[in-house]
Structure 1
Amino acid sequence: MPATPSHPLGRGHDGPRRRVPFLFVDVFAVGPLTGNPVALVPDADDLGEEVMRAAAREFNQSETTFLLRPRRPDATWRLRSFTPIGAEVFGAGHNALGAWLWLAASGRLPGGEGEFVQEIGEDLLPVRVRAQAGRPPAVSMDQSPPRFGAAVGDPAELAAALGLAEADLVAGAPAQVVGTGADHLLVPLRARAAVDRARPDQARLAAVLASVGGEGCYLYSREPGGDGATAYARFFNPTMGIAEDPATGTAAGPLAALLVRDGAARGDVRIAQGHAAGRPSLIEVAVRGDLVTVTGSGLVVAEGTLLL
């Protein structure tokens, strides 16, 4: 009989298997089963990168985060995050916030709150965890200074890629790439109904994003909705294999920076996202000059074990 080929991730179904704990954390959530879920694997130092990518594909969440010991002495924890297609992301959004919520809930942070430093890629980014009586903790994370990039030159093609009419776009307000860690295309729409009505052609949208150097696409409307939100948004990221993300801190930060730069907000921005996906979320962003800080809360909603 021919020899059974070995698998790069392990010995196969008949060999010994390792038990690897994982959790699901709902981030930017208003209650269980809302917000944006992130799969979290703590104490992942002994997992190779290939296993991390495969686990992210297995969970099939917008992002899966692995918590590791830091490589740099001035960091508290190191985080690595991957999308369902195994692509690594380096921004500090719900992927990172979920890890700190779990650290606080599991007693891994002295006193349950304080100021810490997270290592993400080559960046060291401050994190503040604040306990809240009778509620999950609030986590605030500083992002990178905003970068303002290219604008879309063909609004008709952008609208078509989003499944919308060009009249749905805000006239005279270009769709522009902005980044505070990850570079996303920010697209202003006239009405919340247009945000909900978008049905992107993934391949066509990916081509538009490639033309301006954008990773994902953040649709938003500043139309008031009675919820006190500064903007109402949806996020699509075909370049990373994410059809729709219900709460996106790496896009909310750039949007807040853009609104403040243009005088549409004073410095404190509240973004409602996830409603069209059935997972309502609330993201708070403070912009003070080049300092962009994203704040949110959430809670652990599931835990289990991978058998590898």
Structure 2
Amino acid sequence: MTEYDAGIVDVFADEALRGNPLAVVEHADDLSEETMRRIAGEFNQAETTFLMKSSRADWKLMSFTANGSPVYGAGHNALGAWLWLAYMGRLGDLNTPKTFQQEIGDAVLPITMEKRNDRFFGTMTQGPLVLGAPLEDVTTLETALGLGRGAVLQDPPVRTADTGAGHLMVRVKDRKTVDAAKPDAAELLKVLRFAGAEGCYVFSFDEKKPETAYARFFNPTVGLWEDSATGTAAGPLAAYLDRVGKLGPDRALLIEQGTRMGRQSFLPIRLDSAPQLSGTGVVVMQGRLKL
């Protein structure tokens, strides 16, 4: 029998049972990808992240959804893993901020960890913004989302935005419209394939309050009906809004997500040369995985 340190972290939350839960498994170097997929199914969380040694970074991260689909980019899958390492004492003294390197897929990205008032915080740098072609006709998308004609706005145009994972950015009229979305998974999948996107980020944005947005995330591509906090969608949304000149002068955005699910989350992003995504979390389960 082999045992692994493992647990669950509620990410983008300052109290238990909020934010987005992430299962974490440490020292997973000897596990095959097939076994990792099966473990992710066993945990049955939105995502499970496996921590391994790396010749290119401080840690290598591999993440899978409950149906075994791989997850890339620096989102809740990465932040939660580093919060776990911090709370387990694997990162040393963080009263002074320290920057580490994380290997995720082909990318090596920095993350800065620090301790504030007995709580750990991480700030991750995502990749540069890559935009897909605008989606000219949104009527099929509106139908797929269960919304009426005219619900989807084209300012900025609906398109795929990517800072580590490509998601379709869909602006709607208001918060009420965001909450009204009831996607048809099969129809939404067709739109996402056409747009070259993995998931769909439906958001409302008040240009009189450019520092905040309200969003929901749907990703039938990897078996996620709805996700409560999606860093790999929040980062490109902020970068896209900045690209089209819709953010305020401080180039920062706070996104509220997960409220409709009963797991309210807040994702703060600041734009530099690339999105800087920050957050904290709470370890809600700690134990041993026995195989």
- TM-score normalized by structure 2? 0.94
- Higher radius of gyration, 1 or 2: 1
The percentage of counterpart residues that share the same residue type is 47
AA of the residue aligned to 1:282:
F
AA of the residue aligned to 2:226:
E
Query: How far has the Cα of 1:174 moved from its partner?
Result: 2.0
Match of 1:238 among 190, 213, 220: 220
Contact 1:30 1:282 in 2 (8 A): no
Distance across 2 between alignment mates of 1:102 and 1:171: 40
AA of the residue aligned to 2:274:
L
User: For residues 215-237 of structure 1, what are the alpha-carbon distances to aligned partners after superposition, in whole Å with 9 as ceiling and x for unaligned?
Assistant: 100000014899x9610000000
Match of 1:184 among 167, 170, 184: 167
Match of 2:77 among 95, 100, 104: 95
1:163 is the counterpart of 2:146 = yes
1:127 is the counterpart of 2:111 = yes
Distance across 1 between alignment mates of 2:136 and 2:68: 31
1:147 is the counterpart of 2:169 = no
Consecutive aligned runs of 4 or more in structure 1 exceeding 6 Å deviation? none
Instruction: Please list every run of 5 or more consecutive structure 2 residues that lacks an aligned counterpart in the other structure.
Output: none
Distance across 2 between alignment mates of 1:225 and 1:153: 26
- Specify the alignment match of 1:270 in structure 2: 254
User: For residues 249-299 of structure 1, what are the alpha-carbon distances to aligned partners after superposition, in whole Å with 9 as ceiling and x for unaligned?
Assistant: 0000000001111111131111000000110000011112x3211111111
Query: How far has the Cα of 1:58 moved from its partner?
Result: 1.4
Distance across 2 between alignment mates of 1:123 and 1:264: 29
SS in 1 for 2:259: coil
Contact 1:30 1:281 in 2 (8 A): no
Match of 2:242 among 248, 260, 263: 260
Distance across 2 between alignment mates of 1:119 and 1:45: 14
Match of 2:194 among 211, 214, 238: 211
Distance across 2 between alignment mates of 1:90 and 1:43: 19
Root mean square deviation, CA, Å: 1.7
AA of the residue aligned to 2:121:
A
- Specify the alignment match of 1:48 in structure 2: 32
Aligned residue pairs total 287
Contact 1:192 1:223 in 2 (8 A): no
Cα 1:225–1:32 shift into 2, 3 Å: farther
Query: How far has the Cα of 1:171 moved from its partner?
Result: 4.7
Contact 2:154 2:171 in 1 (8 A): no
Distance across 2 between alignment mates of 1:186 and 1:80: 25
SS in 1 for 2:146: coil
